[in-house]
């Protein structure tokens, strides 16, 4: 996404995340939102430099700034975190399409490696003893479930 810098400094900018949503950042931390043209700025909870960035965004209008809890809730509602499991499922599925004619054991091994990086997801202890067709079936179920939820 394209960054739009407020001043010559490269550590205060906004990104047009959606047509009705601008997210303002200090370095990589979201500090303000513009939702449908309405500016919502967090109280400073960070540093002197971020305080300057907040002042650039709202011209120093500290009385209208949101408490951190309120700002974080608004941020959560409007800027959703990426879904890592869905992304891994998409990559695994695309890999399967691209490698359709390859050796099933190599494809399954690589797909499993994709999912091994997902925190909280584990494979059964007897995974290596399963037939390749069963591994393929289970991996495709994981992909399908995560891509359709």
Domain ranges of the chain: 3-78, 84-148
Looking at residue 75, its pLDDT comes to 93
Helix axes 104-116, 84-98, angle to 10 degrees: 170
pLDDT class of 119 with cuts at 50, 70, 90: confident
pTM metric for this prediction: 0.60
Looking at residue 120, its pLDDT comes to 86
Tokens of 66: 């949101």
List, for residues 51-97, the tens digit of each pLDDT value. Answer: 999 999 999 999 999 999 999 999 999 987 778 889 999 999 999 99
Placement of tokens 């209208």 in the chain = 64
pLDDT of 149 > 80? The answer is: no
Q: Is residue 54 packed enough to be buried (19+ CB in 10 Å), middle (13-18) or exposed (0-12)? A: buried
Separation CA 119–CA 88 (nearest Å):
11
Question: Helix, strand, or coil here: 119?
Answer: coil
């Amino acid at each position: 996404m394209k960054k739009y810098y407020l001043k010559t400094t490269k550590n205060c900018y906004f990104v047009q995340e959606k047509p009705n949503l601008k997210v303002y950042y200090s370095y990589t931390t979201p500090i303000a939102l513009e939702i449908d043209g309405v500016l919502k700025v967090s109280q400073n909870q960070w540093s002197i430099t971020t305080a300057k960035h907040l002042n650039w965004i709202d011209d120093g209008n500290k009385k209208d700034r949101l408490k951190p809890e309120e700002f974080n809730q608004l941020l959560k509602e409007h800027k959703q975190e990426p879904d890592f499991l869905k992304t891994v499922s998409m990559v695994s599925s695309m890999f399967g399409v691209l490698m359709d004619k390859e050796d099933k054991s190599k494809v399954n091994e690589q797909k499993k490696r994709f999912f091994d990086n997902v925190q909280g997801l584990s494979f059964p202890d007897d995974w290596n003893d399963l037939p390749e067709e069963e591994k393929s079936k289970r991996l495709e179920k994981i992909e399908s479930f995560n891509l359709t939820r």
